[in-house]
Structure 1
Amino acid sequence: MLPWTVIGLALSLRLARSGAERGLPASALQGDLLFLLDSSASVSHYEFNRVREFLGRLAALLPVGPGALRASLVHVGSRPHTEFPFGQHSSGSAVQDAIRAAAQRMGDTNTGLALAYAKKQLFAKAAGARPGVPKVLVWVTDGGSSDPVGPPMQELKDLGVTVFIVSTGRGNLLELSAAASAPAEKHLHFVDVDDLHIITQALRGSILDAMWPQQLHASEVTSSGFRLAWPSLLTADSGYYVLELAPSTDPGAARRQQLPGNATGWAWTGLDSDTDYDVALVPESNVRLLRSQHLRVRTLPEETGPELIVVSHTRPRSLRVSWAPALGPDAALGYHVQVGPLRGGAAQSVEVPAGENSTTLQGLAPGTAYLVTVTAAFRSGRERALSAKACTPEGERSRAPRPQPQRTGGREP
């Protein structure tokens, strides 16, 4: 443990020193970190203990302190439960001990309910949360939930919360990719419960990056918008920000937004795809003079696909579906293929990972018309779908055997 402590101390000193060079206080690395732990009966005691140990080791490597990072632990169960609020523990080792002492709650896996509860905790003074500091959620799950996760998770991200997901089970790739902050490859980890130690350092670094917005920067860039973040330069009493946005080719079409001095982020939406935008953050204060910060961000090309569904290799009980895949930098995270009888009946679904653009649908009924729908899921959370009709041929009918001519020993007359 000592070598990691030395590394953590060295990193903290480096961050403090770089902050001082920019004129920021040494305590500028601040943030509220909420661990969301699946404590329901769907998780075995062995898995729960392994995850608990992983979170404890992760917390021990973070610069936890009253004026720096604060941590809280919330259980997912039939009802959410706070193990400890923000600010109760003033060091990484104290947080580690508290996590190790947490007992499994059991019950249902009501993750959506826990996320709604976590949103209140992350912004509640009574829970020890602080206004104007970066917010990070680390959700460790076996992949399942008894209630919807998407809407409450999107509310958190809309409020500027950075969401990391660690799945130790066989969770739905598309759903978890949409739930995590973008890009998914940085914020979503699929790891066996016995191999969690492999991602500890990478996840620690990503959490610190989210807690340390060194200057005005953009994230979660899509074809129609992006999110901005900046360090805390003002307070609610010392001034306000003016945020300006304009297409690089048309400065006269600028949009402006005034924000309070304790704001540290804003999301622009409804923008044109594949377009360069110039952003300016202007701090206005009577207390001290602060320079404006500038940034150019290019939105991604329009999300397209899937296109041109082709049905082939039709058999009485199966058929193959292919489609033109989504292309470009904002290519689909994966595809959801659904097939159901046109005259009604049970539908079946198949998940197809990104990089593949065909699948064989099995277990169909002979001589039946079907509607096949291919849906592409994008990192922005949006989906695009295309449907086509297909029909399985009739199966071969059984034929009665031909009567064989009877042979006799005599001659025909």
Structure 2
Amino acid sequence: MKGHMLTWMLLCLVLRPSVAQNSVTAGVLNCCEGDVLFLLDSSGSVSSYEHSRMLAFLSELILPFSLGKDQVRVGLLQVGTQPRLEFGFDTFNTQSDLQGALRSIKPLRGDTNTVEALRMAKEWVLRPSTAHGARADLPRVLVWLTDGVKPGDVIRPMAELREEGVAVLVVSTGHSNYQVLRQVVSPPAENHLYFVDIDDMSIITEDLRDAIIEIIRAERLHVRDVSTNSATLQWRPVLSGLMGYYEIRFNPVTAGGGGGSGTGTSPSTGINYYQRLTQSADSSTAKLIDLKADTTYRATLTPTSNEQAFNTLSVTFTTKPEVLSPVVITVSELGQTSARVSWGPLQPETITSYYIEYSALPRGKLHAVTVGRMQNSTLLRDLQPDTTYLVTVSARHASGKEKAMSIRMCTQEVTPALADLQLTTVGSDSLQVDWKGNVAGLRGYWLTWEGQQNTVPGQRSSLYLPPDSLSTRLTHLPPLTRVCVSPIYRTARGEGLCCTAQFHSEASAYGYQS
């Protein structure tokens, strides 16, 4: 019997450390990202026993956190006559190394020079721009562990830290200087200021840890590229370098708020209601497909590894309302007898074909053309010039739905060029200008002329003439004059002709087209 009892005691002694290690691993918090600096009072007013109790409390407090460059980093600055940084943020990336360092910390003794310690924290440790300092754009936390005896003039330096975005929390094992300590913590004081006896520090461990987590909590599961039927999950690759995988589950959120965790079946019906997929350990994104439009989903991500335990992360998102093409129709390459009609958005995964109808208003012949699901434009030909058309694009969806959208467009009118232009000199400074036009739809003519000296253009003059005008006379012209005539139509100016006239000493008549 004694042999059995001895064997049992030996087994307990051997197994107990293993059980403790497993409980530590299971409690790892993959929740947060930030830099936490502990300011530990180790001056002469703190006994060796109190110092060891503070370190034990600190060890228990930070034990569950995941450490590393993409997670939580911890620093320790001791307060004495000459404050000392025991280790900075980039010193330890594993709990085993950090816990070993905490067990070897010795008190400094001497005066309580908290002001100097705060100066070091502000200018060196907690400043992102310094080497080995805090990380930019991440939460920074200062946790001050003190006995509350003669804290010094700390109100102003603590205020400066808070102004720079540092969250300040205080744990006091004494019960003096309450008003001073209340002023230095970040609000709300009821969550960030703790008074506790040295032998009862463990009772505030969870509350203080939760307060720190609230400040440095990292939203590690994000949703991007949300559409009507898909969304992409993105997360930090916490399994990088480890053996394992990510398990993803997602499902619509029911009216009662039920999520997709648990067994994967509906408690009331027993029917599977979540979708599941897995991703490799080195992945950081996953695309969720076949979602319903305008529906709220809950997705969970569980990093799974035999080497380390991680929390399950979750996120809720809502898909976009269903948008049936076409939503917009545009017209380009508009000419006298043709026009290109385009539409969008292109939805080849849900549309089988497009049907385009067009007719001249008010009662023109109806024309139609069908194009495939991968096409989002077509060129309409054989149109009538200067005519308003009604164009309708209908999308035939695979679901059986059909959506149509219509626009009006007007083809360009025919704008014939000027047929002929002649210039006849009259005297030494006048021109008779004649042209041929008189086309239906003509709104008039635009005539311009300018003198030229050594091929350099001079001042330009212009004149509008009514549509029944086929000639005009220009006077007081320079010896070398260029004249242009263009027909004007309802929507545009037609192509014109230009001629140059030169006056000679004898009044000979001539003209030529340039």
TM superposition score category, shorter chain reference: 0.3 to 0.5
- Asked which structure has the greater CA Rg, the reply is 2
User: Which has the higher relative contact order, 1 or 2, with Cα contacts under 8 A spaced 6 or more apart?
Assistant: 1
TM-score, length-scaled by structure 2? 0.37
TM-score, length-scaled by structure 1? 0.46
